[in-house]
Amino acid sequence: MSKLDIRIAPEVVQAMLAHLRHDTTDLAAQDIHVPAEHFTSPERARAEIALMKTLPLTVAHVSELPEPGDFITREVLGTPLILSRQADGTVQAFLNMCSHRGGRVEAEDKGTRRVFTCRYHGWSFDAKGGGLRAVPFQSSFEQIERESHGLERFMTELRHGFVFVDFSNNTARSVADYLGPEVDAQLEPWQLEQSVIVIDRTFTLGINWKLLVDGAIDVLHSQFLHPGTVGELFETNIGVFRQYGRHGQLFTARKKLRTLLDSGQAADIGTRYMASNLVVYPNLSLIAAPEHIECWSVWPDPQDPGKATVNIRFYARKAVLTPEIEQRAQKSWAILHDAASKEDWPMEEWIQQNAALRPGRTFRYGRSEISAQHLHRQLALDLDH
Ligand code: FES
Ligand SMILES: [Fe+2]
């Protein structure tokens, strides 16, 4: 293994090698049938968004807010946020809404401020804590209680370099509790808190968010939809799936792993021979590549179930980043972008259109489509009481 390589757990490698030997793959107990309506129904979409707002969501990376006082603004599930880096290194999330008459107090995408000032009537708020700082022409108001006129705050936590926001302010559960030890263990070697963003692209697509996640954890399609590219590099319908509570991880084999197996040398296996896609429930998917990790954040459109926004980022570890690695990441992005925009997304758009045409039908997810099954099963558990 090279020093860049991240080792795959021997237990997973053994399971993969067994699958390669026997042409098998991890299987769910049964097929499931997902109503097409789940991709088109406004009620379903509203329920999913309401569910997301009770979970810790990754909304940013620390490298976007390197210094105290740095801020970024971002709209998450229709909610305008200001994320502000505090002197103690933590990040606070405020609702970008003035307590006077509801204006946005920050108009810029990013910058550095100690005070946020609403440009409507000049009320200002401390970046530290969000408290109301000053009110111009205060004497023309009745008594204003400062405590109840600060910026609204949401619970925020940093973990693995990600800024997690919990709109429900659930203090009973930390992000570590939510992720669980297995997800932590998978993310830890990537040193994401010490990583830099080398690719950062956002796309708005006419596709329900779940179809986008499904497409990224699909072990069954490479050789058919990507015959000349990804399908030549990866085995189709050979995968190892590990469930970590609500989260899940699909490991796939590069074809060169079979070559290694045939030569009898497969022992110490890392990301050069196997890729993995870790879905941090519900909408974050982390795809391990040899030298970087791809991170897809998939956001449902707050109004239209048939639309989603996906932000794709490649993170590279600062400690090992060289211009060559960055160049290879750019090349890898070009291949991924080609496959996604010419092959995956057009197919998912067709599915979206067909779902709208026949909402009474169901779509079948077979036993080997276990990782996508897990997402739909978990959503059903959380939503269908
Ligand atoms: S709405 Fe912000 S100061 Fe009036
Ligand atoms: Fe694909």
Q: 4 in a domain, yes or no?
A: no
Testing ligand 1's pocket by substitution, the residue of 94, 100, 132 carrying the most ligand atoms inside 8 A of its CB is 100
Q: Phi and psi for 384 in degrees, rounded to 5?
A: -100, 90
In a domain? residue 353: yes
Residues 208 and 80 both lie in one domain: no
**Residue 224 and residue 160 share a domain:** no
Q: What pLDDT score does 227 carry?
A: 94
Average pLDDT over residues 238-245: 98
Residue 24 in tokens: 């098998």
Q: Which atom of ligand 1 is nearest to the CA of 99?
A: 2
196 with 151, same domain? Answer: no
Q: Is residue 343 in a domain?
A: yes
- The answer on pLDDT for 266 being more than 70 is no
Q: Which of 172, 207, 239 is the last residue of a domain?
A: 172
- For residue 124, pLDDT over 80 is answered with yes
pLDDT at 3: 67
Residue 2 has pLDDT above 80, yes or no: no
Domain assignment present for 129: yes
pLDDT digits (tens, 9 = 90+) for 296-345: 999 999 999 999 999 999 999 998 899 999 999 999 999 999 999 999 99
Specify if 5 maps to a domain.
no
Note the pLDDT of residue 228: 87
Give pLDDT, residue 267: 66
Indicate if 19 and 164 belong to the same structural domain. Answer: no
Residue 176: which of 192, 167, 187 has the closest Cα? 187
Contacts of 176 (CB under 8 A, 6+ apart): 159, 184
Instruction: Indicate the angle between helix axes 370-383 and 42-52, nearest 10 degrees.
Output: 90
DSSP characters over 322-355:
-HHHHHHHHHHHHHHHHHIIIIIHHHHHHHHHHH
50 and 68 in a single domain? The answer is: no
Among candidate residues 172, 198, 232, the one where a domain is terminated: 172
The Cα-based distances of 129 to 73, 151, 321 in angstroms read 16, 8, 36
Instruction: Report the residue among 94, 115, 120, 144 best suited for mutation to probe ligand 1: largest number of ligand atoms under 8 A from its CB.
Output: 120
Are 260 and 361 in a shared domain? yes
Ligand 1 mean position, distance from CA 150 (Å):
12
DSSP state of 366: -
204 and 61 both lie in a single domain = no
Distance CA 221, CA 208 (A): 19
Q: What is the pLDDT of residues 9-58, one digit of tens each?
A: 999 999 999 999 999 999 999 999 999 999 999 999 999 999 999 999 99
- CB-CB contact of 184 with 70 (8 Å): no
Give the model's pLDDT for residue 195.
97
Residue 292 lies in a domain: yes
Chain centroid to Cα 299, Å, comes to 8
Same domain as 61, residue 50: no
Do 255 and 298 lie in one domain? The reply is yes
Whether residue 118 has its Cβ less than 6 Å from ligand 1? yes
Question: Please, what is the average pLDDT of the chain?
Answer: 96
Between the alpha carbon of residue 317 and those of residues 36, 66, 179, 334, the distances in Å are 40, 16, 21, 20
Residues 56-94 have pLDDT tens digits of 999 999 999 999 999 999 999 999 999 999 999 999 999
Q: Give, for ligand 1, the residue of 95, 117, 118, 144 to mutate: max count of ligand atoms closer than 8 Å to Cβ.
A: 118
What is the CATH classification number for the domain harbouring 232? 3.90.380.10
Question: Which residue's alpha carbon is at the smallest distance from atom 4 of ligand 1?
Answer: 121
| 3 falls within a domain | no
Q: Which residues surround ligand 2, an ion (CB under 5 A)?
A: 344
Distance, in Å, from the CA atom of 285 to the CA atom of 336, rounded to the nearest integer, reads: 15
**Is 273 part of any domain?**
yes
Task: Give the domain range for residue 165.
Answer: 57-172
* Residues 162, 119 within the same domain: yes
What ligand has the least distance to the C-alpha of 233?
2
From 128, 150, 172, the end of a domain falls on 172
Q: 87 and 206 in one domain?
A: no
**What's the number of domains the chain is made of?**
2
Report the separation in Å between the CA atom of 357 and the middle of ligand 2, taken as the mean of its atom positions: 24
Of ligand 1's listed atoms, the one at least distance from the Cα of 118 is 2
CATH, residue 100: 2.102.10.10
| E strand map for 39-103 | 57-61, 70-76, 79-85, 91-95
One domain, residues 232 and 347: yes
Separation of CA 103 and ligand 1 centre (Å): 5
Structure confidence at residue 290 (pLDDT): 87
Tell which residue, 31, 322, 20, 379, has the closest CA to residue 208.
379
